[in-house]
Homo-oligomer: A and B are copies of this chain.
Amino acid sequence: MRPALISRVQVLDATLRLASEKGLSAVTMRSVATRLGVSPMALYRHVGDKQGLLDGLVERLMTEVAGAVENADEDWRVPLRGLAANMRRTARRYPDLFVLLFQRRAVTPGAVAARDAVYRALRAAGVAEPELDRLERMISTFMLGFAASEAGGRFAGIDADAEFRYAEERIEQLITAAVETDR
């Protein structure tokens, strides 16, 4: 038995900092280890392997997205906008890491939390059960695509905020239309 020098949380913290400062390509087992003052092989006990490290990173991204979204608001639009804002901010912070979200199902706690926030908003808006699933996926998919585009540079030269306000309006319009037809 021997006291642990590093923990899984520390490894992910250090990696996330490295990724936001120098991008995903700067994230190597060796560079992360150096940052923690430990040998590269020390990481393997805590994150499995490089893929495991990336998985851990992506889950942290999702909790960052889902975190701090107000819930019990009078207007269902508020938490939805908050989630979108979180998503865009996270994407800008980790542009090349963010696209990995397209490769994960919403099964980890963070991803589930983010999805549930959209669900709650849609329910509060009055969207009926049969349509809830699909509308949620459609909206989440658009948000993800928008944030990835903005952070990746696909929108270069365009006012992303104004662009998003337009899309936001259109989506809210879509939601209220769905509520209307259900009635």
Contact = CB atoms under 8 A, between A and B. Distances in A.
A173 B16 CA distance: 41
Contacts of A153: 103-105
Nearest to A157: B105
Interface string A123-161: 000000000001001100110111011011111111000
Interface string A94-127: 0100010111111000000000000000000000
A9 interface: no
A183 interface: no
Interface size class of A (residues with CB under 8 A): 20 to 34
A28 B8 CA distance: 31
A167 B158 CA distance: 25
A154 B153 CA distance: 22
Interface of A: 95, 99, 101-106, 134, 137-138, 141-142, 144-146, 148-149, 151-158, 163, 166-167, 170, 173-174, 177
Leading 8 A-B pairs by shortest Cβ distance = A145-B145, A102-B152, A103-B152, A99-B99, A102-B148, A141-B145, A134-B166, A142-B142
Given A103-B154, A144-B145, 20 more contacts: A95-B103, A99-B99, A101-B154, A102-B145, A102-B149, A105-B153, A105-B154, A105-B155, A105-B157, A134-B167, A137-B155, A138-B166, A141-B149, A141-B154, A142-B142, A145-B145, A145-B146, A145-B148, A173-B174, A173-B177
